Amino acid sequence: MSNDLLLYNKIFENKIRLQIMSVLVSNDACDFNSLKDLLDVTDGNLASNIKVLEKEEYISVTKSFVGKKPHTLYARTEKGIEAFKNHLKALEYFIKQSK
């Protein structure tokens, strides 16, 4: 088995988690409402997928208030960036093998 196959990460099999990480790897950070609008998902769906990424320590969460409204900001972690890039390497390997 190729080492590239070992880089495949089941956490990113979920489309929403893959999209969240894509946004966060491309940007320094993103808030909850922006992610929700961008990905066109419900609050609950986004929150449950964010919890998975947070538990794996792929993202960090910063909660604050803007005026009297809660504001939640998500950012990628180094561990998350590495896991995501490794997953992409595994996908590239799969694509090359299918040609």
pLDDT digits over 21-61, tens only?
A: 999 999 989 999 999 999 999 999 999 999 999 999 999 99
In the chain, pLDDT over 90 holds for what percent of residues? 83
Residues 6+ apart with CB under 8 A from 25: 76, 80, 81, 84, 85
Q: What is the mean pLDDT of residues 84-95?
A: 92
Number of domains into which the chain is organized: 1
Say what the pTM is.
0.90
Structural domain that includes position 38: 3-98
Q: How many separate helices (H) and strands (E) can be counted in the chain?
A: 5, 3
CATH of the domain at 27: 1.10.10.10
Check pLDDT > 60 for residue 16: yes
